[in-house]
């Protein structure tokens, strides 16, 4: 049987994961991207599995579940850069276990008698995957190339035009979707701090009750990420001292050990935002599929959305 020829556009976590998934399914895949993985928005992410800002959604839940399982398996390979870390999430009101927690084993509720600050009603603690982005994106790239995939460093102006040469094109270009006519796309600027590892901070901590100022601490293998901001439609790369101080102050409210950290640098990234992630077949080009617009959920949804793309391709082959 002839292998399906596929071009994946984009080399962030969604593009790489989709390309690996399709290669493993027997496709002949090329990645076309204007930037190498280390230069993408994904490289700047805290890369913790967590459904930030997400309202209950069954499709999201299933994609998050599949991704959790895949990354938990990858954490058994030290080379992947994925580790399992305890996440403590704080809630001002106790509305019960987070709706997405059914993806996660060993969820424990903590009350004020368990060290939860008095301004919170409760907290939930659970193990989640965290990726060291440099190692993880490199791991996915190596896996893709070892499977026989090819990487073409080139800017794509029109994904549909690539269909002249292949059976299928998968658009995983994030905010690039706006340039291809998706008016639902927008940018959200994220400011994060990178700190040196310190024994005073162990695990991960989240309070995402403020959608414009999400507060999170992510312990990774070689550093600690402190966040953050979600500045809609802001494209400035300037980071003020007041923003840095505010992030440190908020994070210290979740874990006192943050005051002991040595801040290495401050970074700006731009999340590709959309009301819902776009994982679907193009209305005009039957051979063009889309997989982008995950906002802050790129790592949380990556393997599930890649599997969804594969199902769409298989449905097309059947019909």
CA distance 99 to 187: 26
How many domains are contained in the chain? 1
> What average pLDDT does range 174-199 have in this prediction?
89
Is 177 a residue whose pLDDT tops 90?
Answer: no
- What residues have CB less than 8 Å from 189, skipping those under 6 apart? 229, 230, 231, 232, 234, 235, 236, 268, 269, 270, 271
Q: Which residues pair with 205 in a beta bridge?
A: 88, 217
Q: Where are the beta strands (DSSP E) in the chain?
A: 5-9, 28-33, 82-91, 108-110, 122-131, 150-153, 168-171, 186-195, 204-207, 215-219, 224-227, 231-232, 263-273, 278-281, 288-292
Handedness of CA 113, 116, 122, 128 (dihedral sign): negative
Domain holding 178, by residue range, is 5-316
CA distance 205 to 9: 34
* pLDDT computed for residue 81 by the predictor: 97
Confidence of residue 28 (pLDDT cuts 50, 70, 90): very high
CATH number at residue 129: 3.40.50.720
> What average pLDDT does range 250-279 have in this prediction?
93
* pLDDT computed for residue 111 by the predictor: 83
Pair of tokens at residue 96: 């019960």
Each residue's pLDDT tens digit, 190-227: 999 999 999 999 999 999 999 899 999 999 999 999 99
DSSP character string of 46-105:
--B---TTPPP-HHHHHHHHHHHHHHHHHTTSGGG-EEEEEEEEEESS--SS-GGGGGSS
* pLDDT computed for residue 148 by the predictor: 97
Is 295 a residue whose pLDDT tops 90?
Answer: no
Each residue's pLDDT tens digit, 301-313: 999 999 999 999 9
């Amino acid at each position: 049987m002839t292998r399906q020829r596929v071009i994946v556009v984009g080399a962030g976590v969604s593009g790489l994961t989709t390309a690996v998934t399709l290669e493993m399914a027997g496709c002949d895949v090329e990645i076309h991207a204007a930037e190498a993985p280390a230069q993408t928005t994904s490289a700047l992410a805290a890369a913790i599995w967590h459904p930030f800002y997400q309202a209950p959604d069954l499709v999201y839940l299933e994609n998050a579940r599949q991704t959790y399982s895949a990354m938990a398996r990858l954490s058994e390979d030290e080379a992947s850069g994925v580790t399992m870390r305890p996440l403590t999430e704080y809630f001002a009101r106790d509305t019960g276990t987070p709706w997405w927690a059914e993806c996660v084993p060993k969820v424990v509720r903590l009350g004020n008698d368990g060290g939860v600050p008095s301004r919170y009603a409760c907290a939930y603690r659970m193990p989640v995957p965290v990726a060291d982005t440099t190692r993880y994106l490199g791991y996915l790239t190596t896996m893709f190339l070892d499977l026989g995939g090819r990487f073409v460093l080139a800017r794509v102006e029109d994904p549909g035009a690539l269909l002249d040469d292949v059976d299928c094109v998968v658009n995983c270009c994030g905010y690039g979707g706006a340039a291809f006519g998706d008016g639902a796309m927008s940018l959200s600027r994220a400011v994060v701090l990178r700190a040196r590892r310190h024994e005073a901070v162990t695990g991960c901590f989240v309070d995402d009750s403020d959608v414009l100022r999400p507060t999170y601490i992510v312990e990774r293998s070689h550093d600690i990420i402190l966040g953050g901001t979600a500045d809609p439609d802001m494209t400035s790369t300037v980071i003020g001292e007041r923003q840095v101080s505010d992030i440190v102050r908020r994070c210290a409210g979740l874990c006192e050990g943050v005051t002991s950290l040595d801040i290495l640098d401050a970074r700006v990234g731009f999340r590709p935002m959309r009301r819902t992630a776009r994982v679907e077949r193009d209305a005009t080009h039957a051979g063009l599929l889309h997989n982008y617009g995950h906002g802050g959920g790129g790592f949380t949804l990556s393997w599930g959305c890649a599997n969804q793309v594969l199902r769409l391709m298989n449905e097309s082959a059947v019909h």
